[in-house]
Structure 1
Amino acid sequence: MSVAREIAAAKINLALHVRGKLPDGRHAIETIFAFCIDGDRLSAEPAAELTLGSSGLFSPELPHSEDNLVLKAARALQEAAGANSGAAILLEKRLPVASGIGGGSADAAAALRLLTSLWNIDPAHAERVAPALGSDVPACLLSLSARGEGAGDRLQQIALPEVSGMPVLLVNPRVQLSTAEVFARWDGIDHGPLGEDWRHGRNDLQPAAVQLAPQIETVLAWLSAQIGATLVRMSGSGATCFALFDSEVPRDRAAEAVPREWWHLATSLR
């Protein structure tokens, strides 16, 4: 029996500017998405019904399988494509839950790619159902560097040769943050557009996230003090922060020094 596999690549926001509110009540943002070569892992094989199993360090923190975004994505794809096939899906949860690096959105997107292949259906069905699953799901479905506008779901794929293959260290103080709660604490001030150079940008959600999880400031300060770190920011709505490095040696040295109580991942950008 054939088994299909997919990586749910960890997402980082190199910059994230909140510009206001959209007519539907969601927040208008401008962001630059980049993706790591590592993340959660999904596999699936043909089955009579749709089922989801899980393993991995963060598996116990997942919502009940019926509420998991992976199953919701699978059912939405099934309905959109008129597919009668099922699948036994296994999610290896290696990334922290509710951590600002894609998580559930990346898992849902990987499930769409996985089942598109397994069921041999038109990828356009996955593209159609992705936006309804969450604002980050279209970007995670692409899993390539892109500029996101609207709620983050209006995408323009961009080339970022300056970061392709760049070593990165992700660090999370093992704190879960609700995206909705972080956005609710946004100061409501438009601090200006995201220009052409994301390096001159910022993350407008950081102050709100720090109010809910002060440990973020500690992580950012620690990353900024690491030798070789060229840029340090919080990703998404937190609490994961990242540091970019020019080479693997200083990244790996920093990774070895991460306090034991924090989660970390030493990886590279696509």
Structure 2
Amino acid sequence: MLGRVRPAGAVVLIETAFAKVNLALHVRRRRGDGYHDIESLFVFVDSGDVLRAELRDDGVLALSIDGPFAAGLDDGPENLVLRAANSLKLYAWPTPALANTDWGAQFGANLYLTKNLPVASGIGGGSADAAAALRLLNRLWRCGLDDAALCAIGETLGSDIPACVISRTLRVEGRGEALAPLDLPRLAGTPILLINPGIPLGTAPVFKGWDQHDRGTLDSSSLAAIIDSGRNDLEAPARALVPEIGAVLDTLDAQPGVLLSRMSGSGATCFALFRSGADIDAAHQAIRRAYPDWWAMRGTLR
């Protein structure tokens, strides 16, 4: 690493923070450390927040945020994007002797986050942004780290970040750190519609409302099994806090061509998988007309 030559001139790279969706989320138990053991199937949409990074050679990390959901977000050192950037830098140059080399301490970045996804909405949010920062700065700074190293860094920052680093279909267990890639036939390329009623919902209150009843393991052997026997154990406590989730799910269920509709994560975003592009087009237009205040995003699964 010390023998590398710093790239010359301005360098700007772009990374998408792909929206995360839980096709199913089974909560198995509350652990002694305060976390919950889960079994979940994570999938990722081909759209999300967008992060750009511009190389700077003075060691400074600066973050600017724009986009439809930028209001109220902190662009200071506690933002997960900057925390991820600093963690990557510390991992790549762990000692002052390395950090003070030409390749180390002088490496910084101007980071620009376009926040397209609602905040506190159960579809990745800050975790996806932090993961995008790790992937992006790993390329910008030419750290050469593999996904395993980036996931290890991400795990220190948040339970969902390792999965968001990979951003491919995964079976997720433990508190989110046990990841197993899955290749389920007919899943990639499936049209998906995300709907949020416009009400932020924190993760902690939803988990606190879980009834602590273990309803059994997750069968992730096929998409059919996910549809037939999967569930989201956090839907009931989320709906108790935000009853509008029920209206969103009822509206999605009523659309022609729906394969599956559920709440994602701890809510309040819900989703529907559709049989065809024509079906999702019709549903997207109908819901936008009927509920103009709801946030809606259509995409396809990666």
Question: Same fold by TM-score, threshold 0.5 exceeded?
Answer: yes
Q: Distance in 1 between matches of 2:186 and 2:110?
A: 39
Q: What corresponds to 1:61 in structure 2?
A: 72
Flag structure 2 segments of 5+ consecutive residues without an equivalent: 1-9, 94-103
CA displacement, residues 21-57 of structure 1 (integer Å, 9 cap, x when unaligned):
2342200000000000000000001122100001100
Shift of 1:161: 2.4
- Structure possessing the higher radius of gyration over alpha carbons: 2
Could you say what the CA RMSD is over the residues aligned between the two structures, in angstroms? 1.1
The answer (yes or no) to whether the contact 1:61–1:97 under 8 Å persists in 2 is: no
Whole-angstrom CA distance in 1 between matches of 2:276 and 2:79: 37
Quote how far apart the aligned CAs of 1:5 are.
Answer: 0.6
Counterpart CA distance in 1 for 2:39 and 2:81 is 26
2:179: which partner in 1? Answer: 155
TM-score, normalised to structure 1's length? Answer: 0.97
In 2, Cα distance between equivalents of 1:64 and 1:217? 33
Output one character per residue of 1:145-174: Cα deviation in whole Å (capped at 9) or x when no partner.
000000122100111222110000000001
Q: Return the letter of the residue paired with 2:169.
A: S
Measure, in 1, the Cα distance between the counterparts of 2:183 and 2:237. 30
Matched position secondary structure for 1:101: coil
The correspondence for 2:53, drawn from 38, 44, 50, is 44
- Please, what TM-score do these two structures have when normalized by structure 2? 0.87
Deviations 1:51-90 (A, max 9, x none): 0001100011323432211011111111111142100000
Determine whether 1:179 maps to 2:203.
yes
Equivalent pair of 1:22/1:150 in contact (CA under 8 Å): no
Match of 2:137 among 115, 132, 135: 115
Aligned to 2:156: 132
For 1:229 and 1:218, the matched residues in 2 are separated by 16
Residue 226 of structure 1 is matched in structure 2 by: 255
Deviating beyond 4 angstroms after TM superposition, the runs of 4 or more aligned structure 1 residues are none
CA distance in 2, matches of 1:16, 1:168: 17
In the alignment, the residues of structure 1 paired with residue 298 and residue 35 of structure 2 have an alpha-carbon distance, to the nearest angstrom, of: 33
The answer to which of 142-151 and 189-198 deviates more is 189-198
Alignment partner, residue 87 of structure 1: 109
> Which of the numbers 8, 19, 37 marks the counterpart of 1:28?
37
Give 3-state SS (helix, strand or coil) of 1:242's partner: strand
Q: Measure the CA separation in 2 of the matches of 1:213 and 1:102.
A: 19
Matched to 1:142, the amino acid is I
**1:134 alignment partner, SS class:** coil
- With 96-105 and 125-134 compared, the bigger mean Cα shift is at 125-134
Q: 2:269 aligns with which of 220, 223, 240?
A: 240
Amino acid at match of 1:240: T
